[in-house]
Every structure is written in C-alpha cells, then in structure tokens.
A and B are shown apart, each in its own frame.
Chain A
Amino acid sequence: MITLGIESTAHTFGVGVFDENKGIIGDSRKNYIPKKGGILPREVASFFSDVAAEAIKEALEQAKISINNIDGIGVALGPGMGPQLRVGASVARALAAKYNKPLIPVNHAIAHLEIARYLTNMKDPVILYVSGGNSIVTTYVDGRYRIFGETLDIALGNLLDTFAREVKLGPPYIVNGDHVVDICAEKGNFIKGFPYVVKGQDVSYSGLLTFAIRLKEKGYNIKDICFTVREIAFSSIAEVTERCVAHTNKKQVILTGGVAANKLLNEKLTKMAENQNASYKPVPFKYAGDNGVMIALTALLELKHNITIEPENAFINQRWRLDEVEIPWYYSMI
C-alpha cells in the first residue's frame, strides 16, 4: 500500500509519499519565509496555492511512481490556520476526485506523534511535543492519545523566540542549528528567584517571560538571564514529562516538534528517562517539524483501518483536538 500526504496547517506546504514496504519514498517541502515580521495567513495561503502543483510533482518524482499507483490521498484537515488548511483540503479533494482515490482525513498533531513513533521505533511511549505553537505531554490510553500535560499559556518555542526578540538577540532565532538564547547562555550563571511554575502536569511560561524581560531592563547580565530562562523552561517541561512517565508507568519517552533540536533539552530528558528506567529518543530533526511524510504515514495507517472520508464532507477543523481521534491502529504500527 502507498499513500500520498498533504500538509498545509501553518508555514510549510509539504507533500510526502509513504510505502508500506519501503517506508518514506517521497518528501517535498515548500516553506513560506516571511519577508518581515509575523505570518499573514492569507499571504501564506496564496504562496501555498502557487507551489502546490510543483510540490506534488516533486514528491511523486522522488518516489518514482505515478499518482495512479497511489492507494489513497491523506490530508491534514486541522488543527491549524484556516486559509492554509483550505488550500491543502482543496488540493487533496481535487486529486482524490480526479484520480478516483480514497481521501483520508488526518489530524496534524496525531501525524506528528505517529511519525515520531515510527522513526524511533518506540511502540508505546510518552511523547513530549514542543514547538513554536505547542507544548504537550501525551500518551495513548484506552483507544486514544490523552493529553496529560500542556502549557497553560505560551508554548516553549514561542517563549524562547519572544524573549530573544524582546531583548534583541533575534531574529533570526536559530543560528547554525542552535537557538540564540542557548548561544547567549553559554557562559551564563544561574540567577535565583525566577518564577518556576508547574501546576499538576502543566507548565506556565508567561510569568517567566515577563520576569526575564524585566530583569534585562533592570540591567542584569543577559548571559545569566538566558541561562536561567532556559534552565527553568526545560527543567519544568522535563518535570511534567517525568510525572506522566511515573503515573502511567510507561518505559519509553520520545521528543518531537521544532524544539526537539535542542541539545540541553535532550540532555535533561535523557537523564530524566534514566531516572525512571525508561529509554529515550528524540525524533530525527528532519521529521520533527511540519512535513507531508507524517501525513502520508498516518493516512496509510488509517486506510488500513478503512478510515476515509467523502470529498464533499472533508471540512477543515481549525481546532481539532488530538484526543478526539480514535487510534484503532495503535498496536499495528508498521
């Protein structure tokens, strides 16, 4: 079985091709790079419309197959931003109708989790998903992924980026694979008295952000502030992940999302997992961010369980919860 997957929830238009026997055989990504400042959804959507055909062609060429030999078309219908989601959905609907292929609805968050499980070969892990928009601790219980912990306000990547911007360390936020906050923290020391907020299995970062900005204004050494901000941010997310591991008694931990590239966070999670007698692996960086391959993989798993949708019913859902999705394929990961 072979599936094609389309990702268009945020700033990447991605097309992936996944073969049940060979694995990843096609992967094309078109990243929208904003000219200045933030992302304007409509601008991104129009960029997506321009690159969609090319991305599909590229992915199929890499895969060395014709679209006629594809068994199903998967598309991320949410969660994400409306205008971008609509582009992916229309492209997928059109392809499915034209080539008479089953259309498979994929939840973008679930796809992040499934590609993480597939690539790390961890069958039943606790998963920490940290990116610019998300900080979630989740694991499978009773048919679905359940949210054990999350951020009560801003996400981890957003905390680092916003802080860097406010104290003028960026943009760009990533230099040679490292975050500018990490680079700045290299020779820093720990400052006592920063807010460390963990509530149950949730973290909260907005107090940390304002506190750090205020210390900068008061003239504290920026290296020390950076050192302390990341120490607290990563320790608290490691702590809530540890709680999930302890409470569910699972023996595997994986990390995904853009912030998975972070060295210190990886070190902390490695030690945490050792402490809980669990094994730990981060997702290979290339597949930690948004991509079409994860959509294709999840679509394939769904298709094997006959989960498809009629094109006329394939509506986008900007706020599609990951714990709404039943995962009947959980124990039959490829």
Chain B
Amino acid sequence: MVLFDDIIKIENFLKLQLIKRGAESEIRLGDFLNTKAIYKIRVKKRYMHDDLDNYLRYERTRREAKILATAYASNINVPKLYAVYPSVGIIIMEYIEGNTLKDLLLSNHEKYITFSYYAGRELAKIHKANIIHNDYTTSNIIVRNDKLFIIDFGLSVYSTNIEDKAVDIHLYKRAVESTHASISNKIMKEFYKGYLDEIGEETGNKIIKRAKEIELRGRYVGERRTVWKS
C-alpha cells in the first residue's frame, strides 16, 4: 500500500477513462504497475459545507481502504487494494470485470436469483470478521465468473453489535424490495439461507429477527395488514 498522498495531483487521474459514475464517486479505469486497475475518485459535493465535505471524503476513503485490506485478509471476496490517497479521495484497486448483481437480476434472468444465496454467505463472512458494510445492496456486488465480489466499503465500521449487523440485512432487504420488487421474496429466501449456512442458525436467527424489528420502527412502516383490496 502506497501512502504519499501529499504529492498526488488529482488532475492526473481525471484523464483516465470514466466507466461509471456512482452516487458519490467517479469510477475510472487505468492501470497500476502494468495491470488494469480501478481508480475510485470521491468528488466534491457542492451542497455541503467545505469542512464537512473534506472530512467525509477523507474519512470514507481512508475507511474503505482499511476495511478492504482487512476483508481481503479475512478471505472475503473483495477487490485487492493497490493504493490510497485519502486527502484527494482516491483509492486504486483491482478491476473486477463483470456485471453488478443488480444488473444481472434486472436483466430478467431468474437463474441469477441463486446468487443471492452467495450474497448471504458473503455478508455472513463479513459479519464474522466483525465488519459492518452499511451499504450492502445488489449494486455493490460484482459477479465475475460466477463468483461474487463485494465493493463500496466507504460507510463501513467495525462492530460486534447485533443491531449493527441487523441494519445490513435490513438495508439489503429494502434495496431488493425497491429494485427487484417482483422477485424480492425469492431473492430474500436465498439470501437468508446463505447467511444462516455461513454464520450458524443460532446467531443468524437472532440477527435476522432484529432486522425485522428495525423494519417495524418507522411510522409509515407498519405490519403488513391489508384492510382492503382495490
């Protein structure tokens, strides 16, 4: 891991080919020591106070890199970290060539539903390493040769707390329900199976139960009790 961010000039990276624009970053393709590499560049948000914006970009870049490194060491499928420059908000990492699980599921292929089983397994591995992802969605999972890679650890934290782990499951479920509405039940069934297989029934069921409690907290999120049908 290279750390000399004070001499890095962001201009050099802005020439690289832009392949994706995330909600908070630009994803560019370049190379690093003669292999293809992803340059994830967190861009300035004009609607935030400068101090807050700088702090968040620095902190999320630093965190994402740190957690990518520990996750990799715990045998979780993540891109290899090549370099990080927190003060300019840049991470250089392995290029995972493939589609996001979101795009695969949206392409209408029922066969990809079983990949959600492995999404569950991978999240359980992440939790066993006491990492909380905090943005676990089908768009943050890339599938390369039928193997799932987890990305986007910018909001991640370390924690052993059940509530924190449950939030990951809650977020995945909500993302699935909003993005893959018509097949969400099947996707979640696979997911729970994978999660439980990897983390164990006892721990796993506790966390899943807590996730359901979180879901019921908001005012507009009542228990499903349809009074009438149109």
Interface residues, chain A, CB within 8 Å of chain B?
Answer: 77-79, 105, 109, 133-134, 136, 141-144, 146-148, 150-153, 190, 192, 196, 198-202, 231-232, 235, 238-239, 242-243, 245-247, 267-269, 271-272, 274-275, 302, 305-307, 309, 313, 315, 317-324, 326, 328
Q: Does B223 contact A (CB under 8 A)?
A: yes
Contact A144 B181 (CB under 8 A): yes
Tell me the smallest distance from the CB of A263 to a CB of chain B, in Å. Answer: 13
Residue of A nearest to B157 (CB): A199
In addition to A141-B178, A232-B52, A324-B226, 18 A-B residue pairs with Cβ atoms within 8 Å of each other are A79-B219, A105-B228, A109-B220, A141-B179, A147-B220, A147-B221, A192-B51, A192-B55, A199-B134, A199-B167, A231-B48, A235-B45, A235-B49, A242-B24, A243-B24, A309-B228, A317-B227, A319-B220
Q: Is the CB of A315 within 8 A of B181?
A: no
B139: A residues at CB distance < 8 A: 247
Kindly provide the distance from the CB of B83 to the nearest chain A CB, expressed in whole angstroms.
26
**A142 and B182 alpha carbons, distance in the complex (Å):** 8
Contact A238 B224 (CB under 8 A): no
Taking CB atoms, residues of chain B closer than 8 Å to A272 are: 45, 47
CB distance from B211 to the nearest CB of A (A): 12
Question: B34: CB under 8 A from chain A?
Answer: no
Q: Which residues of B contact A (CB under 8 A)?
A: 21-24, 45-49, 51-52, 55-56, 134-137, 139, 155, 167, 171, 174-175, 177-179, 181-182, 214, 217-228, 230
A142 contacts B51, CB within 8 Å?
Answer: no
Which residues from chain A contact B181 at a C-beta distance below 8 Å?
141-144, 146
| Contact between A322 and B23, CB atoms less than 8 A apart | no
- Where chain A touches its partner, the secondary structure class is mixed
| Closest Cβ neighbor of B225 among chain A residues | A317
Closest Cβ of chain B to A299, distance in Å, is: 13
Q: What are the residues of chain A within 8 A of B167 when measuring CB–CB?
A: 152, 199, 202
In the bound complex, CA of A312 to CA of B83 (Å): 67
Q: Give the residue name and chain of the A residue nearest to B154 (CB).
A: A198
Docked complex Cα distance between A136 and B174 (Å) = 13
- With both beta carbons as reference points, the residue of chain B lying nearest to A143 in the complex is identified as B181
Taking the nearest CB of chain B, how far is it from the CB of A186, in angstroms? 14
Q: In the complex, A255→B49 CA distance in Å?
A: 21
Q: Which residues of A contact B135 (CB under 8 A)?
A: 199-200
User: Which of B24, B55, B56, B222: most chain A Cβ within 10 A?
Assistant: B222
Report chain A residues within 8 Å CB of B23. 242-243, 245-247
Q: What is the CA–CA distance of A317 and B139 in the complex, to the nearest angstrom?
A: 35
Q: Which residues of A contact B175 (CB under 8 A)?
A: 200-201
| CB <8 Å contact, B222 and A231 | no
Task: Kindly state the separation between the CA atoms of A107 and B43 in the bound complex, as whole angstroms.
Answer: 39
Closest to B175 in A: A200
A133 near B46: Cβ-Cβ < 8 Å: no
> Are A235 and B230 in touch, CB under 8 angstroms?
no
**Does the CB pair A238–B47 fall under 8 Å?**
yes
A191 to chain B, nearest CB (A): 9
- Give Cα A70–Cα B156 distance, bound, in whole angstroms: 55
Measured between beta carbons, the chain B residues less than 8 angstroms from A274 are 46
The distance in angstroms between the C-alpha atoms of A153 and B219, with both chains bound, is 10
25 sample A-B contacts, Cβ–Cβ < 8 Å, listed by A number: A78-B222, A79-B219, A79-B222, A143-B181, A147-B220, A147-B221, A151-B218, A192-B51, A200-B137, A200-B175, A239-B24, A242-B45, A243-B24, A246-B21, A267-B47, A268-B48, A306-B230, A313-B227, A315-B227, A317-B225, A319-B222, A319-B223, A320-B222, A320-B227, A321-B224
List, in ascending order, chain A residues with CB within 8 A of B47's CB: 235, 238, 267-269, 271-272, 275
Q: How far is the CA of A105 from the CA of B226 in the complex (A)?
A: 12
Contacts of B224 in A (CB 8 A): 321, 324
Cβ contact within 8 Å between A190 and B219: no
A242–B181 CA distance with the chains assembled, in angstroms: 21
Q: Smallest distance from the beta carbon of B87 to chain A beta carbons, Å?
A: 15
* The 5 residue pairs across chains A and B that have the minimum distance between CB atoms: A319-B222, A146-B178, A246-B23, A200-B171, A271-B47
